[in-house]
Amino acid sequence: MAEMTIDVLAVCGDYPVRELAQGETLIEEGVRTDRLYVLKHGGFDLVRNGVSFLHIKRPGTFLGEISAVLEGVPSATLVASEASSVHVIEHASQVVRARPELTLAVAQVLARRLVALTDCLVDIKRQYGGSGSHRALMDRVLAELATMSDEPVEVGSERKDVPDY
């Protein structure tokens, strides 16, 4: 069966657009707004606990989808890395339930991430499983993430010379 991909920009074209200047914060870690954004153009840096770990620049990318679906606070901050614009979906937790095409598009994004995580887990198992090295710990961490429930997962470094994340 061929993969059906939703054209997110077409689905969200009727939502208002917000323009952001380089350096402007769109989403702040830990601050709930119940908004979902769709990148129209530009780019954002994803920052968690002060560490920049991802650059997002693909038009049609959802921003804030996890907190919208889980109805929780954002787990990261998004800062515009250049002049950017986004579609703004207010009351996102309600809208995601009310618009099936939007719900499917978000589900497709999250499913693709899970597939990528699973691929990474298999690769790490292949490389380090049973090695007894500290890298084998990644095998366990990724397995827990892939099968995660509502229970909180304790993360951090077991080494004294490496800070917790």
CB 140 within 8 A of CB 93: no
pLDDT at 109: 86
Under 8 Å between Cβ of 35 and 93: no
User: In angstroms, rounded to a whole number, what is the distance separating the alpha carbons of residues 138 and 135?
Assistant: 6
Tell which wins on pLDDT, 24 or 94: 24
Q: How many CB atoms lie within 10 A of CB 17?
A: 13
Tell me what pLDDT residue 115 has.
87
Q: Which of the two residues, 143 and 149, has the higher pLDDT score?
A: 143
Q: What mean pLDDT comes out for the span 141-162?
A: 58
**Mean pLDDT, to the nearest integer, of 4-27?**
92
Domain parsing of the chain, residue ranges: 8-91, 108-146
pTM of the model: 0.76
Nearest-5° angle of CA 29, CA 35, CA 37?
90
The CATH number corresponding to 8-91 among 2.60.40.1220, 3.40.50.300, 3.40.1260.10, 2.60.120.10 equals 2.60.120.10
- pLDDT surpasses 50 at 165: no
60 in Cβ contact with 9 (< 8 Å): yes
Please report which confidence band the pLDDT of residue 96 belongs to, taking 50, 70 and 90 as the band edges. confident
Q: Is 77 exposed, middle or buried (0-12, 13-18, 19+ CB in 10 A)?
A: buried
| More confident call, 161 vs 17 | 17
